[in-house]
Structure 1
Amino acid sequence: MPKRGYHHGNLRQALIEAALELIEARGPMGFTLSEAAKQAGVTPAAVYRHFEGREDLIAEAALQGYEIFADLMEYAYEKGQPSALAAFSATGRAYLAFARKYPGHYIAMFESGISVNRTPELAAIAQRANGVLEKAATDLSQHIPEDKRPPASMFSAHIWAMSHGVVELFARNSPGRASPFPPEDLLETGIGIYLRGLGLINPDA
């Protein structure tokens, strides 16, 4: 593979981009730091000027992924306003869109085993992304009587889990997991069933 090359002072980002390509192709544990260095066109020793090890490199890729993810979630939420339902639905679709457009980042974030509490910066940006979905859930559930209203954190966790499941099973070209329905439709109908159960949309909607 030809050397990638990089601008002076931007070796750190070149290594992250090399790692993202390798993560997407082989998985988070399917490459070495030496391979990431070769992909970026530098010597293995150069990697250690910026990263202590492979996990440190993957964590930085995850951090950048969460920054993109949080921005997309916030954009989707704002675009759906002033309708609470539209804003909430848009955040679910944004999750699916992110996983498709940024597979390397998605894997680094959710499949690498890197804890979001690895660094304060990673924890903060992950919470920012989750906070958008919680805010959308809070807006949407305001009409549910308080004694019957699920906590926003639980509400958003259910939708996050549903979105993640659709991505993992049907939106990542998993062998043997082809669905007769588009992932977008699976997610939309799944969210619709959930919201009907809470009485947030009409049964015939």
Structure 2
Amino acid sequence: MPKRGYHHGNLRQALINASLELIEVKGPQGFTLSEAAKQAGVTPAAVYRHFEGREDLIAEAARQGYDIFADLMEFAYQSGQPSDLAAFEATGRAYLAFARKYPGHYIAMFESGISVNRTPELAAVASRANGVLEKAATDLSKHIPEDKRPPASMFSAHIWAMSHGVVELFARNSPGRASPFPPEDLLETGIGIYLRGLGLIRPDE
């Protein structure tokens, strides 16, 4: 059987794609570089032409994930404008949508133990993604009296944590754990309660 042929640059992406599939099935620590090479249709030695080890491969998968994530968050933010409230709520929903659509990337980004500061490129794109949510929080927090206004970074961190919790507990099909409500409803009502507490939504809304 002839080996697969790759044009320049395709092998690197083929290895990343293979790692994403393996991460989704086995977890970030559950596969070897040899398995990634086999899945990509190349010899194990070929991996080292592009990556020094498994962590470098996972870090690049995470970087690509953050790039997709940041674009998705920005699109969500823009789709909610000119309403600051709608834009903010949309970014929270975008987090859940990303985790559902890109589980391999999500795991590489948030569950692999890879630091976002591993490379300057990874740090930059992670900061861009976080910046979109913080920008939405900054816009919305302007509607709160200054003496009662939480820092935008805290505001966005609360929503990020809530979104992450809903994903981890109820949207990832954890064995033995069933959500009592659809994850989308849990997130939306949770964000609503939080925003009511800040006075950004009236009690009857």
Structure 2 length normalisation: TM-score? 0.97
Q: Decide whether the 8 Å contact of 1:99 with 1:106 is kept in 2.
A: yes
Judge conservation of contact 1:27–1:107 (CA < 8 Å) in 2: yes
Q: Secondary structure at the match of 1:150?
A: coil
Deviations 1:7-49 (Å, cap 9, x if unpaired)?
4431000000000000000000000001100000000000000
CA shift, 1:180, in A, is: 2.2
Q: Is the 8 A contact 1:88 1:137 kept in 2?
A: yes
Superposed CA RMSD in Å reads 1.7
Closer, same or farther: CA 2–148 of 1 in aligned 2, 3 Å: farther
Give the Å deviation of 1:53: 0.2
Counterparts in 2 of 1:161 and 1:110: CA distance versus 1, 3 Å: same
Q: What whole-Å deviation, never above 9, does each CA across 1:75-94 have from its counterpart, x for those lacking one? A: 00000000001000100010
TM superposition shift of 1:5:
6.1
- Whole-Å separation in 2 of the counterparts to 1:110 and 1:6: 31
Question: Per-residue displacement from partner, 1:56-112 (whole Å, max 9, x unpaired)?
Answer: 000000000000000000000000000001000100010000000000000000000
Query: Per the alignment, do residues 3 and 186 of structure 1 end up closer, same or farther by CA in structure 2, a change over 3 Å counting?
Result: farther
1:2 shift after superposition: 12
Alignment check: 8 A CA contact 1:5 1:41 kept: no
- Kindly provide the CA deviation profile for residues 129-149 of structure 1, in whole angstroms up to 9, marking residues without a partner as x: 000000100111102121211
Does the 8 A contact of 1:196 with 1:203 survive in 2?
yes
Corresponding residue SS for 2:76: helix
Q: What CA distance in whole angstroms lies between the structure 2 residues aligned with 1:197 and 1:183?
A: 21
User: Please, which moves more after superposition, 33-42 or 5-14?
Assistant: 5-14
Structure 1 residues 6 and 18: alpha-carbon distance in aligned structure 2, compared to 1, 3 A threshold: farther
Residues 1:147 and 1:180: Cα distance change in structure 2 (over 3 Å): same
8 Å contact from structure 1 (residues 6, 14) kept in 2:
no
Structure 2 spans left out of the alignment, 5+ residues:
none
- Secondary structure at the aligned position of 1:125 is classed as helix
Query: Which SS does the other structure have where 2:142 is aligned?
Result: helix
TM-score normalised according to structure 1 size: 0.97
Say whether the 8 Å CA contact 1:6–1:40 is kept in structure 2. Answer: no
Q: Which residue of 2 aligns with 1:138?
A: 138
In the TM superposition, residue 177 of structure 1 has moved relative to its aligned partner by 1.6
Identity of aligned residues (%): 92
Give the whole-Å Cα distance in 2 for the aligned partners of 1:5 and 1:141: 54
Q: Could you report, residue by residue, the CA deviation over 1:175-205 in whole angstroms, capped at 9, with x for unpaired residues?
A: 1221121000000000000000000100111
Alpha-carbon distance change, 35 to 145 in structure 1, aligned in 2, over 3 angstroms: same
Distance in 2 of aligned mates of 1:60 and 1:3? 25
